[in-house]
Structure 1
């Protein structure tokens, strides 16, 4: 891929990530938006899109965002978006 294509994909992934977050969790704090715009790794953005789509709450997304490039697996009930539906929007830890 050419460098301009990489940059275009990164820009698009940032926007996609913010869109998923807004759809799932509402308004996003400006500091989080700034952190997302500072991400320049295509792989990290792709992983965070998956996290945003599957994390049952915003707190878990923030934890994964803070992991940076080091985290790469989405495992267990921690990433079950349906769980909050059955628990009235709360995870087991929040009950």
Structure 2
């Protein structure tokens, strides 16, 4: 892939990630948006898109965001997008 294609994919993934977060959790604080724009690794953005699509709360997403580039484990109830419904919680997973 050409360098400009890599950059275009990275830009698109950042926008996709922010769209998913807004759709699932509402308005996103500017500090989180800045953190996402600081990510340069395409693979990290891809992982965070999967995480954002599956976590039951923004809090868990933020924990994964802090993990950085080395993590890729997306397993268990922690990544169940409907867990909050079962526990009677709201969009952030809290009661």
Question: Which bin holds the TM-score, normalised by the shorter protein?
Answer: over 0.9
- Segments of 5+ residues of structure 1 without an aligned counterpart are none
Could you tell me how far apart the structure 1 residues matched to 2:67 and 2:73 are? 11
Residue 76 of structure 1 is matched in structure 2 by 76
Alignment of 1:1-95 (within 5 A): 1-89=1-89, 94=94
Computed over aligned residues only, the root mean square deviation of the Cα atoms, in angstroms, reads 1.4
Could you tell me how far apart the structure 2 residues matched to 1:19 and 1:94 are? 22
Q: CA deviation at 1:94?
A: 5.0
Say which structure is richer in helix: 1
Q: Normalized against structure 1, the TM-score is what?
A: 0.92
Q: Normalized against structure 2, the TM-score is what?
A: 0.92
Give secondary structure in 2 for the equivalent of 1:69.
coil
Give secondary structure in 2 for the equivalent of 1:63.
helix
Could you tell me how far apart the structure 2 residues matched to 1:14 and 1:62 are? 15
Could you tell me how far apart the structure 2 residues matched to 1:17 and 1:34 are? 12
Number of matched pairs: 93
- Segments of 5+ residues of structure 2 without an aligned counterpart are none
Deviations 1:46-69 (A, max 9, x none): 000000000000000000000000
